[in-house]
């Protein structure tokens, strides 16, 4: 997941700003501009944000009130380079809010969110500023500028249009109020999910642990010990704990209990999001209506590869028709297996799927996560993932022991190319904690751009995960899916690190939402390649390479569960389009909304009280509203892109260079379909995905 930091307009008007003793006030006097976390306190953020807004307002007024004829240089470039202090502080504040947020930082976010929303609106609704932008757009002579200049102008112009510049009278004031309200609601949603997820605990005794592998038992024991409860075992809703229990526990009653805990998050009580999600959907609908659109999805999809809801729904339905019959056949086989395994008829419930699916996979291929885990100690995986970038793109990673970090577990790496040139910095943050959102994401403390003096300012990238922690007796040993997650987020990181753009607003991952997942999902293909796995997977005790037969089993089993996985993702996509396809304010029952949206891809019968939406951060607070389909869209792209590597060699230097030069380095400097066709030689086709997943032979 590419974690969105700011609303689109705060993306566009970025550079840097701050206050007197405050570290954010000026350019960091650190090596290569790394963040001086040792000199930042929670108390610094709010005054720095306020001063940043004040400075930015003065810069905007100066641009808007010029008496000279509007030009690309004095208007568009001026806007692009404005707001330096504000960008500097927000580029640290938002990542910390997701990765290291205590109550005091959350309180700051609650105070500044409406102020930032108001600031964003005040820029887009500045009539003088809009008229200057419009003049430059209407009179732009493309023969005098390069294509990236045009793309920046186009993005700025579109941002103004989408953010209310064309609105008049009361509609402008309504837009201001709606965007402020939306900012407050999304923040409330995010904070509720963080607090709710952290407070759920399932305390067990040794007798409750039947079926769990040693790694899961040790992790549960360590979690209990961290809360001074020796002799007990703690299971939480954090991904490594939850997923291991659901996959391995023989205790169906406890699996059901944990499933219900997970899927009833934020449905009632102090941290309920049930009304919040309705308010978010209705607020977004109201914004779309101001612009003459029937739905938020219609409004949101204008500047995407898909362009409209009909294209999205057509893609989702095409995949449903291809995958659903296979998924139903697979489920029938799994039910038969489970019944034979138990010795009586079994109706598979959602808390049973991971358990029986893992058992069947083990029976079919004699392989499971616990067999692979010893070969994926985190240090080896880091070596393998970084080695992938070395082999593909000539990148080298050396740990920077002098860099300041926001948590002792965070590491920083200097990234250079084969010629020794500095490429950027990479922060890694691997383990769960109570102040950290669940999931995995990539973001930036600084994005790549060329400054006013012609200097190529290199990016500072962060990768944030929630991996299995080390225990008293073992290092962090990752599951296959956790290694895959690392490769995924690293793909986003490479998209940022390899950026070679002029403008921050177009660099790195600042691309269409349905294009941004291509580099990340492309990387996942290598998890099914012997040549990649054999290079780093070594037993944490003996140092022996992963046996060839295990790799063969990984490859042979790679299509297992693909149909279920796709149908499950389609369900999420339909939920997203359901909420943002409403044409009237929603006042009904979120349970009914969710079930109606995904009825055509329903895998299990609804479970009373269980619902996805109140914790579905991607579409309510994470920047993927009416955009969740992008994961499947990007799968079509990544499978098709990787098929060229399969044809020419998975580490072919020329092919890798083409992918780097046409996709990874270009950011949003050109239309994504143009970039893709420059790499692939044609538009993407769905066939490679169907072949990869075993749907089409």
At 57, list the tokens: 């307002």
Determine which of 176-180, 497-501, 505-509 has the lowest per-residue pLDDT on average: 176-180
How far lies 515's CA from each of 58, 519, 521, 649, in Å? Answer: 35, 8, 11, 24
Please answer whether residues 598 and 571 qualify as being in contact, where contact means their C-beta atoms are separated by less than 8 angstroms.
yes
What contacts 321, CB < 8 A, 6 or more positions away?
Answer: none
The predicted-structure confidence for 183-195, as pLDDT tens digits, reads as follows: 999 999 999 999 9
Q: Give the pLDDT band (50/70/90) at residue 179.
A: very high
Please answer whether residues 459 and 443 qualify as being in contact, where contact means their C-beta atoms are separated by less than 8 angstroms.
no
Q: Is the dihedral of CA 637, 638, 639, 643 positive or negative?
A: positive
| Identical fold, 8-193 and 374-505+526-556 | yes
Catalytic residue among 80, 482, 489, 517: 489
Q: What is d(CA 461, CA 612) in angstroms, rounded to the nearest whole number?
A: 30
pLDDT on residue 11: 35
Q: What is d(CA 311, CA 633) in angstroms, rounded to the nearest whole number?
A: 11
Please answer whether residues 431 and 394 qualify as being in contact, where contact means their C-beta atoms are separated by less than 8 angstroms.
no
What contacts 58, CB < 8 A, 6 or more positions away?
Answer: none
Q: What is the mean pLDDT of residues 588-604?
A: 96
Please answer whether residues 360 and 368 qualify as being in contact, where contact means their C-beta atoms are separated by less than 8 angstroms.
no
Asked whether residue 9 carries a pLDDT value surpassing 70, the answer given is: no
pLDDT on residue 438: 83
Please answer whether residues 485 and 440 qualify as being in contact, where contact means their C-beta atoms are separated by less than 8 angstroms.
yes
Q: What is d(CA 64, CA 56) in angstroms, rounded to the nearest whole number?
A: 12
Residue whose C-alpha is closest to residue 359's, from 258, 212, 248, 243: 248
Coil, strand or helix: which one is 425?
strand
Asked whether residue 260 carries a pLDDT value surpassing 70, the answer given is: yes
The predicted-structure confidence for 336-369, as pLDDT tens digits, reads as follows: 999 999 999 999 999 999 999 999 999 999 998 8
Asked whether residue 275 carries a pLDDT value surpassing 80, the answer given is: yes
pLDDT on residue 368: 87
Assign 3-class secondary structure to 45-110.
Answer: HHHHHHHHHHHHHHHHHHHHCCCCCCCHHHHHHHHHCCCHHHHHHHHHHHHHHHHCCCHHHHHHHH
Determine which helix (DSSP H) or strand (DSSP E) holds 480, and give its type and residue range: helix 480-497
The predicted-structure confidence for 470-481, as pLDDT tens digits, reads as follows: 988 899 999 999
pLDDT on residue 1: 65
Phi, psi of 625 (to 5 degrees): -60, 125
384 phi-psi bin (left φ>0, alpha ψ -120 to 50, beta other): alpha
pLDDT on residue 8: 37
Determine which of 5-19, 197-211, 625-639, 674-688 has the lowest per-residue pLDDT on average: 5-19
Residue whose C-alpha is closest to residue 266's, from 277, 254, 253: 277
Asked whether residue 393 carries a pLDDT value surpassing 80, the answer given is: yes
Q: What is d(CA 501, CA 416) in angstroms, rounded to the nearest whole number?
A: 18
Q: What is d(CA 639, CA 559) in angstroms, rounded to the nearest whole number?
A: 13
What residues are paired with 444 via a beta bridge?
461
Residue 96: how many other CB atoms lie within 10 Å: 22
| Parallel, antiparallel or unpaired: strands 460-464 and 456-457 | unpaired
Please answer whether residues 213 and 370 qualify as being in contact, where contact means their C-beta atoms are separated by less than 8 angstroms.
yes
The predicted-structure confidence for 659-694, as pLDDT tens digits, reads as follows: 999 999 999 999 999 999 999 999 999 999 999 999
Determine which helix (DSSP H) or strand (DSSP E) holds 115, and give its type and residue range: helix 103-124
Q: What is d(CA 271, CA 524) in angstroms, rounded to the nearest whole number?
A: 35
At 12, list the tokens: 């566009």
Q: What is d(CA 665, CA 393) in angstroms, rounded to the nearest whole number?
A: 11
Determine which of 248-262, 263-277, 430-444 has the lowest per-residue pLDDT on average: 430-444
Tokens 């769990």 correspond to: 212
Residue whose C-alpha is closest to residue 640's, from 568, 694, 691: 691
Domain locations in the chain?
8-193, 200-263, 374-505+526-556
pLDDT on residue 183: 92
CATH class of 374-505+526-556: mainly alpha
Q: What is d(CA 692, CA 686) in angstroms, rounded to the nearest whole number?
A: 10
| Parallel, antiparallel or unpaired: strands 422-429 and 460-464 | parallel
At 99, list the tokens: 């990765």
Q: What is d(CA 21, CA 70) in angstroms, rounded to the nearest whole number?
A: 37
The predicted-structure confidence for 207-247, as pLDDT tens digits, reads as follows: 999 999 999 999 999 999 999 999 999 999 998 899 999 99
Please answer whether residues 482 and 446 qualify as being in contact, where contact means their C-beta atoms are separated by less than 8 angstroms.
no
CA atoms within 13 A on the CB side of 142: 9
Please answer whether residues 241 and 284 qualify as being in contact, where contact means their C-beta atoms are separated by less than 8 angstroms.
no
Q: What is the mean pLDDT of residues 621-647?
A: 95
Q: What is d(CA 276, CA 369) in angstroms, rounded to the nearest whole number?
A: 38
Q: Where would I find the H helices in 249-308?
A: 252-263, 274-290, 296-300
Q: What is the mean pLDDT of residues 13-35?
A: 71
Asked whether residue 498 carries a pLDDT value surpassing 50, the answer given is: yes
What contacts 162, CB < 8 A, 6 or more positions away?
Answer: 8, 291, 299, 302, 303
Q: What is d(CA 358, CA 364) in angstroms, rounded to the nearest whole number?
A: 10
| Parallel, antiparallel or unpaired: strands 449-450 and 422-429 | unpaired
Q: What is the mean pLDDT of residues 377-394?
A: 98
At 493, list the tokens: 């990181």
Q: What is d(CA 485, CA 67) in angstroms, rounded to the nearest whole number?
A: 52
Does the annotation count 158 as an active-site position? Answer: no
What residues are paired with 427 via a beta bridge?
412, 462
Q: What is the CATH number of domain 8-193?
A: 1.10.1370.40
Q: What is the mean pLDDT of residues 313-327?
A: 96
- Edge-to-edge strand order for the sheet containing 460-464? 396-399, 411-416, 422-429, 460-464, 441-446
Please answer whether residues 487 and 524 qualify as being in contact, where contact means their C-beta atoms are separated by less than 8 angstroms.
yes
Let me know how long the chain is. 697
């Amino acid at each position: 997941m590419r974690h969105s930091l700011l609303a689109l307009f705060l993306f566009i008007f970025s550079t840097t700003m701050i206050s007197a003793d405050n570290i954010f006030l000026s350019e960091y006097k650190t090596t290569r501009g790394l963040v001086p976390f040792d000199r930042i306190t929670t108390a610094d953020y709010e005054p720095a944000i306020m001063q940043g807004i004040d400075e930015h307002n003065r810069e905007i007024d100066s641009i808007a009130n010029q008496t000279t004829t509007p030009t690309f240089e004095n208007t568009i470039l001026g806007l692009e380079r404005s707001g330096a202090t504000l960008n500097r502080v927000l580029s640290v504040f938002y990542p910390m809010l997701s990765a290291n947020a205590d109550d005091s930082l959350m309180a700051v976010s609650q105070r500044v969110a409406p102020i930032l929303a108001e600031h964003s609106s005040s820029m887009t609704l500045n009539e003088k500023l809009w008229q200057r932008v419009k003049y430059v757009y209407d009179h732009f002579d493309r023969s005098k500028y390069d294509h990236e200049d045009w793309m920046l102008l186009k993005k700025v112009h579109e941002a103004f249009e989408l953010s209310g510049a064309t609105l008049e009278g009361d509609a402008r004031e309504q837009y201001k109020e709606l965007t402020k309200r939306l900012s407050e609601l999304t923040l409330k949603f995010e904070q509720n999910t963080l607090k709710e997820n952290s407070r759920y605990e399932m305390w067990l005794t040794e007798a409750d642990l039947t079926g769990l592998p040693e790694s899961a038992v040790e992790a549960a024991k360590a979690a209990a010990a961290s809360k001074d409860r020796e002799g007990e075992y703690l299971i939480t809703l954090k991904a490594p704990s939850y997923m291991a229990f659901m996959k391995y526990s023989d205790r169906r009653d406890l699996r059901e209990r944990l499933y219900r805990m997970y899927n009833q998050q934020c449905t009632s009580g102090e941290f309920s999001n049930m009304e919040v999600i309705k308010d978010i959907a209705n607020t977004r609908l109201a914004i779309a209506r101001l612009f003459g659109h029937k739905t938020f999805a219609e409004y949101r999809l204008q500047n995407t590869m898909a362009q409209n809801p009909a294209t999205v729904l057509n893609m989702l339905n095409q995949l449903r028709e291809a995958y659903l019959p296979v998924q139903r056949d697979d489920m029938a086989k799994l039910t038969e297996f489970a019944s034979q395994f138990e010795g009586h008829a079994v109706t598979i419930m959602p808390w049973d799927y991971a358990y029986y699916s893992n058992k069947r996979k083990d029976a079919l291929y004699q392989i499971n996560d616990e067999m692979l885990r010893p070969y994926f100690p985190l240090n080896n995986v880091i070596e393998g993932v970084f080695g992938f970038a070395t082999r593909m793109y000539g990148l080298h990673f050396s740990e920077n022991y002098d860099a300041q970090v926001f948590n002792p577990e965070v590491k920083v790496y200097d990234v250079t190319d084969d010629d020794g040139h500095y490429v950027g910095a990479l922060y890694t943050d691997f383990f769960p904690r109570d102040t950290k959102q669940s999931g995995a994401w990539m973001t930036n403390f600084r994005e790549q751009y060329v400054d006013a003096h012609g200097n190529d300012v290199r990016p500072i990238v962060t990768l944030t995960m929630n991996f299995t922690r080390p225990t008293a007796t073992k290092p962090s040993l990752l599951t296959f899916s956790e290694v895959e997650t690392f490769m995924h987020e690293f793909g986003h990181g490479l998209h940022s690190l390899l950026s070679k753009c002029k403008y921050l607003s177009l660099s790195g991952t600042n691309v269409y939402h349905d294009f941004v997942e291509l580099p990340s999902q492309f990387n996942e293909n290598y998890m099914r390649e012997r040549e990649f796995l054999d290079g780093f997977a070594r037993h944490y005790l003996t140092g022996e390479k992963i046996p060839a037969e295990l790799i063969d089993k990984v490859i042979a089993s790679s299509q297992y569960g693909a149909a279920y996985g796709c149908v499950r993702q389609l369900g999420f996509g339909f939920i997203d389009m359901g909420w943002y396809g409403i044409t009237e304010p929603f006042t009904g029952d979120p349970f009914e909304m969710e079930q109606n949206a995904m009825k055509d891809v329903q895998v299990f019968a609804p479970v009373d009280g269980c619902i996805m939406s109140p914790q579905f951060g991607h579409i309510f607070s994470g920047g993927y509203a009416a955009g969740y389909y992008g994961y499947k869209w990007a799968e079509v792209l990544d499978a098709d892109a990787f098929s060229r590597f399969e044809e020419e060699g998975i580490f072919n230097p020329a092919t890798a260079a083409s992918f780097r030069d046409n996709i990874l380095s270009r950011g949003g400097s050109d239309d994504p379909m143009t970039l893709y066709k420059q790499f692939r030689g044609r538009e993407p086709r769905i066939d490679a995905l169907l072949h990869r997943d075993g749907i089409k032979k």
